[in-house]
Amino acid sequence: MAGNTLLPLLSPILETVVTQRLRLKKNADRRLKAGHLWLYSNEIDIAETPLKDFEPGAQAIVEAANGRAMGVAYVNPNSLICGRIVSRDTDVMLSRSLLVHRFKQALSLRERLFARPFYRLVHGEGDLLPGLVVDRFDDVVVVQLNTLGMEKVRDEIIDALNKVLSPRVIVLRGDTAGRRLEQLDEQVEIVQGELDGAVALEENGVRFETDVVGGQKTGWFFDHRDNRAWLNTQVAGKRVLDVFSYVGGWGVQAAASGASEVVCVDASAPALERVMSNAALNGVEDRVSTLQGDAFEMLAQLKAQGEVFDVIVLDPPAFIRKRKDINAGERAYGKLNREAIRLLGRDGLLMSASCSMHLASDRLIDIVRGSARHQDRHAQLIYQGHQAGDHPIHPSIPETAYLKAMGVRIFRD
């Protein structure tokens, strides 16, 4: 009788039993033991468990070379990262029940960190849900299913979000690089509710609106929240240049924090229109202006016009997407920082950022140092930042620590 009374408690977790097994080569379990969540195709003992036998997206029990079970992963035999661990308990698969549990864990962290419901709710591996990103804009959530394994449980993800958050609107952003790598369809869908125009958010006490359907990524970049907060303390009475401004995350906050003038540069006309509407939302439109065009060309144009700024923000897209791009990407970061430093006054502040996972923090410091010396200036590193707490870093996965932000004083003798 007692055993029967426990069944309702256990049944949500034990919805389906995973029976297929994925065997690792000898010593290939070291990273998993250390906490990593990825399996590479060259680590699999294909004599024992041929990858070709796995249906793409299927779940399997991962075994060490000696047969010891190590957890459950979803598998894509067509990807270099052929497996991603979703549970260390071999009785728990990626299901609605596990998703609800993980979402509640993630929500408890965000509610500890933030007073308002505007944040990244799920940050992939950082929240033990590899391949899944969820950004929250109060009652609107934007979801990225970046892997086939997550695509397979799409309906369960939607159900779990409704269980934990009950959002009014759910948007699926399928236009990601990760999906392209896994040969998944690229599309953007509103799968629940209706959207009428832009979505509102608040960051560091400043109001914004953004397009979560047609904008970049999920429509906003929550990861720089803390870095923007620091810069906001440095801009009062200053002339600020915000390069790669998107919809004004840095620039509008700078104006709201007392900057005397802000110029936002971006290649996208719709993004710059949003800059001005966001400035108006905060009553600072008289101190914000925009320039549309290629960032490098705009920097050269501003120099030719004799413009000088007190503070410059460089927040470019990733110039290094793959390891093979490192040399070319570092040259691009160097050129960008050199061109920006030419526009700084005698004692200026440069906020130089990179979201390139393959650019190490010390390399960005060296690039900024070299760029300052190229202009015969001195550099003092006065602030080092990374992604905000809603983008948690998995200590076993260096790739999750992708964001760098350097606040550097640039001055002459």
Q: Which residues are catalytic?
A: 355
Q: What residue type is 204 in one-letter code?
A: N
Q: CB-based contacts of 93: which residues, under 8 Å, 6+ apart? A: 15, 16, 18, 59, 72, 86, 87
C-alpha 212: how far from chain center:
15
Coil, strand, or helix at residue 366? Answer: helix
Q: CB-based contacts of 1: which residues, under 8 Å, 6+ apart? A: none
CB distance 323 to 349 below 8 Å: no
Q: What residue type is 65 in one-letter code?
A: A
Q: Using CA atoms, how far apart are residues 289 and 272, in angstroms rounded to an integer? A: 9
Q: Using CA atoms, how far apart are residues 85 and 219, in angstroms rounded to an integer? A: 28
Q: Name the token pair of 39.
A: 């399996």
CB distance 381 to 349 below 8 Å: no
Q: What residue type is 68 in one-letter code?
A: R
Backbone angles phi, psi at 257, to 5 degrees: -95, 10
Q: Name the token pair of 104.
A: 């509640």
Q: Using CA atoms, how far apart are residues 187 and 174, in angstroms rounded to an integer? A: 5
